[in-house]
Amino acid sequence: MGNRAVVYQGPGRVAIQDIDYPTYEVKDGPGVNKMNVGRRTPHGAILKTVTTNICGSDQHMVRGRTTAPEGLVLGHEITGEVIEVGSDVEYVRVGDIVSVPFNIACGRCRNCKEGKTGVCLNVNPDRPGSAYGYVDMGGWVGGQAEYVMVPYADWNLLRFPDRDQALEKILDLTMLSDIFPTGYHGCVSAGVTTGSTVYIAGAGPVGLAAATSAFLLGAAVVIVGDLNEERLAQARSFGCETVDVSRGEPVDQVQQILGRAAPAIGQPLVDCAVDAVGFEARGHGQDAQVEKPATVLNSLMDLTRAGGAIGVPGLYVTGDPGGVDDAAKVGSLSLRLGLGWAKSHSFVTGQCPVMKYHHGLMMAILHDRVRIAKNVNATPISLDQAPQGYLEFDQGAARKYVIDPHGMVDNR
């Protein structure tokens, strides 16, 4: 059986290519850690990809801002139909419609047993944590393809309870593989709760997912900051206040929005903040077109109240060939840590442990408590349209592109 996939071809270029049909063994190839070559996965399942989304993290690689090798098959946001299971799989069945957490986790190591599936110790010889189709993540083949193999299937896969219902709500459920849990994790990490005032930096899909999550958690005010007016309009479409950071530092605009709803003592500042931008951050005001990778983190310390918390689901890397200086190229940023220390801020960084949240968020979707696809403007495209989707997303389109390799979305 054949297989086609989205393949990274160098900075600014992706293409649809024929690749091998998946098997239960890790084969050598671009980005595959040599210690993983030959690894057998009888605990895996082969999926027919129902949906697979383009992520901002993919764009970092495609822009040439990581050490990703040419030939890497992209894609870590996967929802699929099980069409085959390995000999060691007990509970997943052929025909199941499932969500695949972007974190690959073994379920056996200390971190997995503690629920820290974003830093599994057994699936990536390079460092803790792994993902499909991503640089330095062990070399597991990406899911922007017609078919993909998922290891440790009984542990990793979230099975939807009803096939017809799942396919009916597939544009919402496809967000469970990454951006919805990631945005939710950013909010939970920042302590968002009933009545919170929340600032979210970034109105891309993760930022909009975080804003959706803040409302789900009971926030009173959700403020989203960005440079892109189309994306800010998308945030306003479901009740967010917005800040155009090209006009200057967000703290002044945040104070105007909060006004009398803010604490009576001191300047009106938010209770919680989320960084959904990451290392390719731009400056504010006159520096809005200048890359300044520490801008967002420093501004969040400025506008978050003393004793507040900051969730950092935005991606930061240890290797950035396009960094603005030698420090940025190795992930060293000029942070005002003294300010955060003085204000007793807490920070939570790193990959979202998707399994911690995805079942609850699935239930919220299935019972119509949230409309995540609408809020992030989910837009289905065919596999052949993926290169154009990458281009438009890179240009700032206020959309979450959902690749539909087999026409299972458009045909319903």
CATH number at residue 313: 3.40.50.720
pLDDT at residue 70 in the model = 96
Quote the domain boundaries for residue 219: 179-349
Please report where in the chains the tokens 């290891």 appear, as a residue: 151
- Would you call 325 helix, strand, or coil by DSSP? coil
**Beta strand ranges found along 216-354 (DSSP E):** 221-226, 241-244, 270-275, 304-312, 346-349
Give the pLDDT of residue 34.
Answer: 94
Domain boundary among 325, 349, 373: 349
Asked if 354 contacts 362 with a C-beta cutoff of 8 angstroms, the reply is no
- Residue position matching structure tokens 């544009």: 171
Q: What is the mean pLDDT of residues 317-344?
A: 90
**Does residue 409 sit within a domain?**
no
Question: Which domain CATH number covers 14?
Answer: 3.90.180.10
Q: Which residues of 55-72 are buried (b: 16+ CB within 10 A; e: fewer)?
A: bbbbebbbebbbebeeeb
Q: What is the pLDDT of residue 240?
A: 98
Bigger pLDDT: 33 vs 267? 33
**Per-residue 3-state assignment (H helix, E strand, C coil) for 127-176:** CCCCECCCCCCCCCCCCCECEEEECCHHHHCEECCCHHHHHHCHHHHHHH
28 and 165 fall within a common domain: yes
Quick one: the chain helix, strand, coil %, rounded to 5?
30, 20, 45
Does residue 408 belong to any structural domain of this protein? no
Return mean pLDDT, the chain.
Answer: 95
Asked if residue 322 is part of any domain, the answer here is: yes
Of 45, 46, 28, residue with least CA distance to 37: 28
pTM (2 decimals)? 0.95
Handedness of CA 127, 337, 240, 230 (dihedral sign): negative
Judgement on whether residues 110 and 195 belong to the same structural domain of the protein: no
186 and 171 fall within a common domain: no
225-257 pLDDT, tens digit per residue, is 999 999 999 999 999 999 999 999 999 899 999
- 412 lies in a domain? no
| Per-residue b or e along 126-144, where b marks 16 or more CB atoms closer than 10 Å to that residue's CB | eebbbbbbbbbbbbbbbbb
Q: What is the pLDDT, as a whole number, of residue 328?
A: 87
Same domain, 38 and 170: yes
Q: For residue 410, what pLDDT is reported?
A: 63
202 and 276 Cβ atoms separated by less than 8 Å: yes
Do residues 339 and 378 share a domain? no
Same domain, 189 and 171: no
Which tens digits make up the pLDDT trace of 183-224?
Answer: 999 999 999 999 999 999 999 999 999 999 999 999 999 999
Structure tokens at 70: 């040419």
Instruction: Decide: 226 and 211 in contact? Cβ < 8 Å.
Output: no
- What are the Cα distances from residue 40, in Å, to 22, 37, 150? 12, 9, 12
**Does a structural domain hold residue 410?**
no
Do residues 157 and 78 both lie within one domain?
yes
188 and 322, same domain (yes or no):
yes
Can you read off the two tokens belonging to residue 144?
Answer: 């922007």
Q: Is the pLDDT of residue 407 over 90?
A: yes
Adjacent-strand bridge partners of 312: 349
Q: How many distinct structural domains can be found in the chain?
A: 2
169 shares a domain with 139:
yes
What is the pLDDT at residue 320?
Answer: 87
pLDDT band at 267 (very low <50, low <70, confident <90, very high): low
Q: Answer yes or no: do 198 and 208 share one domain.
A: yes
Asked if residue 312 and residue 390 are part of one domain, the reply reads no
Question: Does 115 map to a domain?
Answer: yes
Quote the pLDDT of residue 266. 56
84 contacts 131 by C-beta, under 8 angstroms: no
Residue 260: per-residue pLDDT: 55
pLDDT over threshold 50, residue 412: no
Cβ contacts of 340 within 8 Å, gap of 6 or more: 301, 310, 347
**Which of the listed residues 349, 367, 387 is the one where a domain comes to its end?**
349
Tell me the CA distances in angstroms from 150 to 40, 45, 360, 403, one per residue in order. Answer: 12, 5, 22, 18
Half-sphere exposure of 86 (CA within 13 A, CB side): 19
Indicate whether 271 and 382 sit together in one domain. Answer: no
Q: Which amino acid is at 283?
A: G
